[in-house]
Amino acid sequence: MTPAEAWNDFFKWAMSPEIKPTLSAECRHYFNKTNGDVRNGKCGIRRIKNALTEYGQGRYVWIEVVTVDVLK
């Protein structure tokens, strides 16, 4: 998954009828703001990583990969 795909999966889960009522108003506001920023391309990878790490309850494993184009 890309960071944005992981966020979309997380947001769908967090806003589900089972989970949403357990979240504080502040937390829901943060998730909604982050979701808007992700959709508008204004949210960086680090912010998504921090949110998933803090609130994802172990649902996600973050692996960073660097690729090099050896043909250039």
Q: What is the pLDDT of residues 14-56, one digit of tens each?
A: 999 999 999 999 999 999 999 999 999 999 999 999 999 999 9
Residue 8 belongs to a domain: yes
Residue 62 belongs to a domain: no
Residue 31 belongs to a domain: yes
Please tell me what DSSP assigns to residue 62.
-
Say how far apart CA 33 and CA 37 lie, in whole Å: 6
Length of the chain: 72
Report the predicted TM-score, pTM, of the whole model to 2 decimal places: 0.86
pLDDT at 28: 98
Q: Domain residues for 24?
A: 3-55
Burial 12-22 (b: 16+ CB within 10 A, else e): eebeeeeeeee
pLDDT at 57: 86
Residue 72 belongs to a domain: no
Among all chains, which residue has been given the structure tokens 């009828």? 17
pLDDT at 66: 87
Closest by CA to 29, choosing from 55, 4, 5, is: 55
Residue 70 belongs to a domain: no
pLDDT at 8: 97
